[in-house]
Amino acid sequence: MFNTFNMGIGFVLLVPPNQAEQTISWFAAQDIAAYAIGEVITGLGKLEGLPE
């Protein structure tokens, strides 16, 4: 399947930081793999490295 389909991140769920571990634990209890993959941070409103 990796040769045919984009096997990237399938589903993203945003939760408050103080609920991340509880959310991952809930998914684990349902026998569903879940991972923390990043965080939302304050930025300058543009992506670095891209032409303006």
User: In this predicted model, what pLDDT tens digit does every residue of 11-25 receive, in sequence order?
Assistant: 899 999 999 999 999
Q: What pLDDT, on the 0 to 100 scale, is given for residue 52?
A: 65
Q: What pLDDT, on the 0 to 100 scale, is given for residue 22?
A: 98
Residues 1-52 have pLDDT tens digits of 778 887 788 889 999 999 999 999 999 999 999 999 999 888 888 777 777 6
Q: Which residues contact 36 (CB under 8 A, 6 or more apart)?
A: 20, 24
Q: What pLDDT, on the 0 to 100 scale, is given for residue 5?
A: 80
**Closest to 38 in 3D by CA, of 6, 9, 2, 5:** 9
Q: What pLDDT, on the 0 to 100 scale, is given for residue 34?
A: 94
pTM of the model: 0.68
